[in-house]
Amino acid sequence: MKDENSFILKGNIIYSESPTKLICIPQSYLICMEGKVEGVYQEIPSEFENLLLKDHQDALIIPGLVDLHTHAPQYANRGLGMDQELLHWLEQNTFPEEEKYADLDYAKKAYSIFAADLRKSATTRASIFGTIHKQSTLLLMDLLETTGLGCMVGKVNMDRNSPAGLCENRQQSMEDTLSWLMESKSKYRRITPVITPRFLPSCTDELLKDLSRICRSYQLPLQSHLSENLDEIDWVKELFPKAIGYADAYSQLDLFGNEIPTIMAHCVHLTNEEMDLIYENRVFIAHCPTSNTNLSSGIAPVRAFMDKELLVGLGTDIAAGNTLSIFQVMVAAIQASKLRWRLKDQDLKPLTIKEAFYLGTKGGGSFFGKVGSFEKGYEFDAIVLEDNSIKYPQSLSLEERLERVIYLSHIKDKYVNGNCISLLD
C-alpha cells in the first residue's frame, strides 16, 4: 500500500456535492488511493493506517479548480488592449498576436510562461485553445505535460474571415488537424486533444462538417464559442441564414453535443429555445464573466442556466479575461450576477458563494469525468489553502473561511491524480 499515489492529507476538508450542498468537515482525513479519492474520515480506518500522512493542520483542503475555457497564445496579451468589443479586439489585438505562433521560438518563450503560471495557479484542469499552428500546439502540449496538470488542448481551425497569416484552406486545415491528432492522441499521460473550430464566422460550413466527422470517428470532444457578442450574432445570421439562431446553426452543422462532448464558451445572449437545445444535447457552457465585462459583451444569465439544470463551468478566457485565477472568476461571476439582478432582471437571483464554488470545481470538472469533488472515486485533484496570513480578530466558520479565501486566495500545495505539483518558479 506504500505507492506514491496513495496517502492521507489531514486538514479542514471542503467540497461541493451539488450547487447548493457544500460539505465542510473540520480536522479530518482525506484519503487518496492510487490517484483517486477513497473518502473523508474523522478517524483513519485501520486498513489505511500504514499510508503516509501529511498534516496540513488548520489549512483548508479543497478540490483543484477547473478552467473550462482559455487561450494559451493570448496569455502574452493579458491586461492589454481592453478598450474594444469582440470583433475589433480580435482583429486588432488577438489575431496579430496569434500569427506570431508560426514561429516556434516565439511560441516556446510565450508558452513556457503560460505553462509555468498555470502550474503555480490553483487550477488543476483546463480546456485550452492553441492557434492554427500544428507544431506550436504540439509544443504547448509538451510543456503542459511537464507541469503535471490535466489539460485538453486544441489546434484551432480557421478557414475564412481571418487575416492571411491565420487563414488555412479547408484541405490544409484537415490535414494538419489529422496529423496533429496522430502525433498527440496517445503521446501524453494527462494532455489530450480537443477539436477546436474557433467560432462559426471563422470556419466554412464544409470545414465544420469535416470536424464533426473527426470528432465522431475518433471519439473526441469539441470546444468553440457561442453567442458572446451582439454583432457576432448578427454576423452569424448573415453567414448561416437558414438557422433560427446561432446554436441551431452549430446544430445543423452537426457540431452541437449529441454524443460529442462539447464546451461552448460565453452563451451570453441565448434565447430560451437555445437553452433548451443546450439542455437536450448536454452541451457544457463555459461562463467567462471577466471576459464578458472586459469586452462589454454582456452578462450571461447564469441563474437561468442553473434553474434549467444546464451544465456550467467557469472559464478565464485569457486574454479577453484578465486573470488566470478561477478564484477571481468565481468572484466576477457573483459580482456580474448581482449587477444583472439589480439592473436587468429581478427574477434571476444573484449567484451565491456556494454556487460559484461549485461552478469552478465540480461544475466544470464534470466535463473531465469524475473531477472537482472529494466524493469516493473522484480523481484526486486537490489544493491546500493557507489562510493564516489573512489576519482577522473574529472566529470564522469553515464556510466563511472558504469565502474569504475565494476573494483573497493563498495556495500552499497542489495535487493532480494524487501527484504533487511543484509551485516553485
Interacting residues with ligand GUN (CB under 6 A): 71, 86, 90, 94, 198-199, 225, 228, 291, 317, 320
3 state SS of 196: strand
How many whole angstroms separate alpha carbon 328 and alpha carbon 251? Answer: 33
Q: Which of Fe ion, ligand GUN, none interacts with 168 (beta carbon under 5 to 8 A by kind)?
A: none
Report the partner that residue 198 touches, choosing among ligand GUN, Fe ion, none (CB closer than 5 to 8 A by kind): ligand GUN
Q: Which stretch binds Fe ion (CB under 5 A): 86-94, 152-160, 197-205, 316-324?
A: 316-324
Closer residue to ligand GUN (CB): 232 or 355: 232
> How would you classify the pairing of strands 419-420 and 411-416?
antiparallel
Tell me the HSE value of 391 on the side-chain side, using a 13 A CA sphere.
Answer: 0
Find out whether 107 and 136 touch, Cβ atoms under 8 Å.
yes
CB of 86 to ligand GUN, least distance (A): 6
Sole binder of Fe ion in the list 168, 317, 355, 381 (CB under 5 A): 317
Count of residues that bind Fe ion according to CB under 5 A: 2
Considering the complex, what minimum distance in angstroms separates the CB of residue 265 from ligand GUN?
7
Handedness of CA 27, 33, 35, 36 (dihedral sign): negative
Report residue 291: phi and psi, to 5°: -65, -45
Of the two residues 69 and 401, which places its CB atom closer to ligand GUN in the complex? 69
Closest to ligand GUN by CB, 6 vs 93, is 93
Cβ 320 to ligand GUN shortest distance, Å: 4
Closest-by-Cβ residue to ligand GUN is 320
| Cβ distance to Fe ion smaller for residue 133 or 225 | 225
Q: Give me 103's grid cell.
A: 514561429
Q: How distant, in Å, are the alpha carbons of 180, 263, 335, 414 from that of 224? A: 18, 6, 25, 29
Nearer to ligand GUN, 250 or 358 (CB): 250
Please report whether residue 381 would count as binding Fe ion according to CB under 5 A: no
Select 133 or 198, whichever has its Cβ closest to ligand GUN: 198
DSSP-derived secondary structure for 273-336? HHHHHHHHTTPEEEE-HHHHHHTT-----HHHHHHTT-EEEE---BTTB--S-HHHHHHHHHHH
- Considering only residues 230 through 269, tell me which ones interact with Fe ion, judged by CB under 5 A: 265
The closest of 221, 193, 261, 189 to 418, measured between CA atoms, is 189
Q: Which residues sit at the interface with Fe ion, rule CB under 5 A? A: 265, 317
